[in-house]
Structure 1
Amino acid sequence: MKPLIVLIITFCIAILINKIVNGNYNLALSGRIAMAVMLAFTAIAHFAYTTGMSMMIPSFIPFKTELVYLTGIIEIVAAIGLLLPHYRIITGWLLILFFILILPANIYAAMYHVDFQQASLNGKGLTYLWFRVPLQIIFIVWTYLSAVKTSLVETHLSF
């Protein structure tokens, strides 16, 4: 829930700042800024709650701690890539792939009641998926609309 709140609040602030500074709302740029801030926010969790996030990864996957750190770094790099005009399309596509690839970890965590912040097995369980799966879809659509689709239209219009 916290990442969604960060995303929406940052989006609203970015819209207002864009209007004041640039004279327009620039929804795509505001969307990329919001996603970048949200990714930076969630990346912090990878370093603050490493043990709990490691518990979200199935036991047959090795190097859990390293994988948690790696995904945190990926989120930071993606946040930066969304803000760099030459990299936003490829970053958008890779971020969409990333969101798809991390969904199984969220499903696993729900099945085993993982509470990553407490590093315990007292999480919300399968009811969490009723929120998490739609949230993941929102992140994917958000990324597509603000980074990929907008960029494709802008590239097409520049010819």
Structure 2
Amino acid sequence: MSTPILMLILLTLPWFVTMVATRRPEWRRWGGVVGVALVFAFTGIGHFVKTEPMARMMPEAIPWRHEIVLVSGVLELALAVLVLVPGPRREVGLGIAVLLVLLLPINVHAAISRIPMGGHAWGPVYLLIRVPLQLILIAWTYVFLVRAHARDRA
């Protein structure tokens, strides 16, 4: 259950630090971007540290679950780096939002099946935490990567 809390801390702490440290809007936005990078670095590393438990989160009918977890870990680490690159930030942000939507059914399956990974063992009640967390991640990504980037280009 500590994973969602840790993810929220990683997401918001850089932004809070920049809010206190500076009045410059571009640095405050940078804090929000760094938060996204930290979350995806954390979750990407998790794919290599907790490969088997994450593979069990997917329905058994899905082939190559272990390999999918590893590839998605590489993808999340790449996204963590790419959000720090100003040029493609909007597109990367849109990709992250789509990825978060696509991954939600896996979290629903894991919670319904009570897979002992993270809080999923709590069962469907865990979705009361996980779904809002996904929505926060999507909203944060939109605000700091998609909308902010479009505003910077205008």
Judge same fold: TM > 0.5, yes or no: yes
For structure 2, the 5+ residue unaligned runs are: none
* Contact kept in structure 1, 2:15 and 2:30, CA below 8 Å: no
- Per the alignment, residue 11 of structure 1 pairs with 15
- Deviation of 1:73 (Å): 1.0
Give the letter aligned to residue 11 of structure 2: L
- Deviation of 1:117 (Å): 5.5
Per-residue Cα deviation, 1:3-47 (whole angstroms, up to 9, x for no partner): 112212233234445x2xxx6253321111011011101111111
Question: Secondary structure, in 3 states, of the residue corresponding to 1:83?
Answer: coil
- Per the alignment, residue 125 of structure 1 pairs with 123
- Deviation of 1:86 (Å): 0.6
* Contact kept in structure 1, 2:89 and 2:149, CA below 8 Å: yes
Cα distance in structure 2, aligned partners of 1:64 and 1:14: 39
- Per the alignment, residue 24 of structure 1 pairs with 24
Count the aligned residue pairs: 149
**Within 5 A, what are the aligned runs for 1:1-159?**
1=4, 2-16=6-20, 19=22, 24-25=24-25, 26-116=27-117, 123-156=121-154
* Contact kept in structure 1, 2:15 and 2:29, CA below 8 Å: no
Cα distance in structure 1, aligned partners of 2:148 and 2:76: 21
Give the letter aligned to residue 79 of structure 2: A
- Deviation of 1:56 (Å): 0.6
For structure 1, the 5+ residue unaligned runs are: none
Pick the structure with more helix per residue: 2
Q: TM-score, normalised by structure 1?
A: 0.87
Cα distance in structure 2, aligned partners of 1:71 and 1:4: 21
| Identity of matched residues, % | 31
What is the RMSD computed on CA atoms of the aligned residues? 1.8
Sort the Cα spacing of 1:62 and 1:142 in 2 relative to 1 into closer, same or farther, 3 A.
same
Per-residue Cα deviation, 1:104-125 (whole angstroms, up to 9, x for no partner): 110001001112259xxx8111
